[in-house]
Amino acid sequence: MGPPNRDGPCGLWSLGQGTLCSPQSEAATRLGVFEKMDPIWLRFAMFHKVRIPRQDLLNRSGDITPEGTYVTHVKDARQHFSESLGSLSSGRVAIAGMSVVNLKLAVSIALRFSATRRQFGPTDEEEVPVLEYPMQQWRLLPYLAAAYALDHFSKSLFLDLVELQQGLLGKDRSARQAELGREIHALASAGKPLASWTAQRGIQECREACGGHGYLAMNRLGDLRDDNDPNCTYEGDNSVLLQQTSNYLLGLLVRRDQGGARIESPLKTVDFLEAYPNLLGHRFEGSSPEDCLDSSVPLAAYEWLVCYLLRESYQKLNQEKQSGSNDFEARNNCQVYCCRPLALAFLELTVVRRFHEHVHQPDVPSPLRAVLGRLSALYALWSLNQHTALLYRGGYFSGEQAGKTVENAILALCAQLKDDAVALVDVIAPPDSILNSPIGRADGELYKNLWSAVLQESKVLERASWWSEFSANKPVIGSLKSKL
């Protein structure tokens, strides 16, 4: 479908020539610019009894005959639904990638700044880089690990989407193709929220970790935050999208319990749920921080967590229905403390598993595997630590030592990664001309670059326009009081 032959006030539409200018077009105008996104306008159009030509229909999976009859070549309802999911998933996969890019830019700026900015020290003779402080490491390095893990996930999910689109173009009507569409839909519906929310929190943390310099406009952290914020809403509000993922997981359990179907999928992201009852009996086995320095330990914990939340969500849904709620009400009443954390935990598990498997591939050089393994373990433990209350409530953790073990492992991994942080940033950071941040340049000349950028600003060596009002023409005492 192409744009109309002439530009209307509402941009590109799949409408014929003259539609927007027809008498039936009741309104077509611009509502206003999106906040902090000057080139993008919110537009609307209203129509009344406007006829759209049949040839303008988007009819890959269904069509309307000249006689007005709906026809489709897809007879299976599940396959028909799957075919319509590809277009929805494409945008969400793209936004997940956009969010990861913003996160990578932010951590590049903040970590380069932290490695060169010196402040205080054990003696008065020499100050130390702020990255040497455990607090700064704990604030920033988990987001560096998240950038690596989510970057790998978003790229692998894109390749999965390419496989789905190839099947659609090749008119693959197999059951596997239909199931692949549903699985990618579930992954994309949780992947966009996880990536955009992680970037949102990460950019803000990077901004604060750079002190006053983080709020200086020329250093771009404010721009990155503003650029990323709409990603939480594009292609669907994040909290609403997560319902698609939890519905997918609950549907698998219903088919297993009611029809005896195996729980499996083309990308194998849910295959572990086949051992669902047995996994619920597992318990945390780490007795020291050293036991947790490989991502296989948090990976096992995540499998238990997803099974636990799936059981809780399933039981809550059935309880709501038994109490008289209809399906719509029952699902809404399950979202906050059951289905929402279920969807996020499932996606975090998928990210952790894919990055863990990538790091442990045989062709990864041993020295590289060591540092990537630390990133993998740090992201997994840091993400898992946000579910500590659930791990204790469900009985996977017991005693205070389990929680302390995870926390100490996170701090140990941060300390091990701090010396590699700048090198890891150099791998993912774009050229300085693209990063365009004086405090984030690769040469490490923090103060030189910052001062040079300041001097290039307009009128920086001149007094402010209001100077005379507070010097030569000082206000009379009491004249500035409120007149209210």
Distance CA 148, CA 96 (A): 13
What separation in angstroms does the CA of 202 have from each of 106, 138, 141, 145, 250? 8, 12, 10, 11, 31
Position 114, amino acid: S
Position 399, amino acid: G
Residue whose C-alpha is closest to residue 173's, from 89, 75, 62, 63? 75
Based on the number of CB atoms within 10 Å of its own CB, is 65 exposed (0-12), middle (13-18) or buried (19 or more)? exposed
What separation in angstroms does the CA of 141 have from each of 145, 229, 298, 410? 6, 22, 18, 10
Position 382, amino acid: W
CB of 52 within 8 A of CB of 1? no
Token couple for 334: 């399950």
Distance CA 338, CA 314 (A): 9
What separation in angstroms does the CA of 348 have from each of 354, 361, 387? 10, 20, 11
Catalytic positions, please?
Answer: 235
Distance CA 130, CA 128 (A): 6
Three-class secondary structure of residue 113 per DSSP: helix
H-helix segments, 229-267: 238-259
Residue pointed to by tokens 């007149």: 483
Angle, helix 296-322 to helix 238-259, in steps of 10 degrees:
80
